[in-house]
């Protein structure tokens, strides 16, 4: 099945920067970075736990109970995301990264409400769904030269064809790939 990715299906880099600036605290910045900076699904985000963060190895473990398709994976923590987590969590080493008042974790709807509030403060008129942040991460990753295979693993896609959808949203990726190859030089 072929799905064309239109530009409105992801958050542009300047919009993501505006969201980060509009975040009112470290919690909101961390939430944005985890979706738009490492590509977590909203369900994975809200169910993430501090004990699954491995700062020394720069990764976050997603257990199968939290992952789509019930397949655990390890995602790379880019330095900005790790810094956001450290700033937000401080010395906290266990428990929900985004706890709720009730003692469990926040839900996907609450995460959406937080993103809505940030987008409103950033004067972004269109609706920014958490999944658009994930799409933005995927497109930016390809534009920065991340291999489609590595991106597939980071996003937790079972099929490379699902990840290949993002190639359509990043037309410069193919051109840059051929230029880097050094053919005919």
Residues whose CB is less than 8 angstroms from the CB of residue 13 and which lie 6 or more positions away in sequence, other chains included: 136, 140
**What sign results for the dihedral spanned by CA atoms 123, 129, 133, 138?**
negative
Looking at the DSSP bridge assignments, the partners of residue 39 are none
pLDDT of 3 higher than 60: no
pLDDT tens digits, one per residue of 76-118: 999 999 999 999 999 999 999 999 999 899 999 999 999 999 9
Q: What is the pTM of this model?
A: 0.85
pLDDT of 172 higher than 90: no
pLDDT number for residue 163 = 80
Domain ranges of the chain: 7-181
> Regarding the domain with residue range 7-181, which homologous superfamily does it belong to in the CATH classification?
Intergrase catalytic core (1.10.443.10)
pLDDT of 43 higher than 50: yes
Which has more pLDDT, 156 or 70? 156
pLDDT of 4 higher than 50: no
Q: Residue 178 is encoded by which pair of tokens?
A: 């051929």
Please report, rounded to a whole number, the percentage of residues in the chain having pLDDT higher than 70.
Answer: 87
């Amino acid at each position: 099945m072929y799905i064309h990715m239109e530009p409105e299906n992801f958050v542009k880099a300047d919009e993501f920067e505006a969201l980060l600036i509009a975040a009112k605290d470290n919690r909101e910045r961390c939430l944005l970075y985890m979706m738009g900076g490492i590509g977590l699904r909203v369900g994975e985000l809200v169910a993430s736990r501090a004990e699954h963060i491995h700062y020394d190895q720069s990764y976050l473990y997603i257990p199968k109970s939290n992952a789509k398709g019930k397949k655990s994976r390890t995602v790379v923590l880019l330095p900005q995301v790790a810094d956001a987590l450290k700033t937000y969590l401080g010395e906290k080493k266990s428990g929900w990264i985004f706890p709720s008042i009730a003692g469990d974790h926040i839900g996907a709807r609450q995460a959406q409400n937080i993103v809505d509030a940030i987008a409103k403060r950033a004067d972004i008129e269109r609706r920014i769904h958490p999944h658009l942040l994930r799409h933005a991460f995927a497109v930016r990753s390809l534009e920065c030269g991340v291999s489609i295979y590595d991106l597939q693993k980071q996003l937790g896609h079972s099929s490379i064809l699902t990840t290949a959808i993002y190639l359509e949203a990043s037309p410069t990726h193919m051109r840059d790939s051929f230029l880097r190859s050094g053919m005919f030089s």
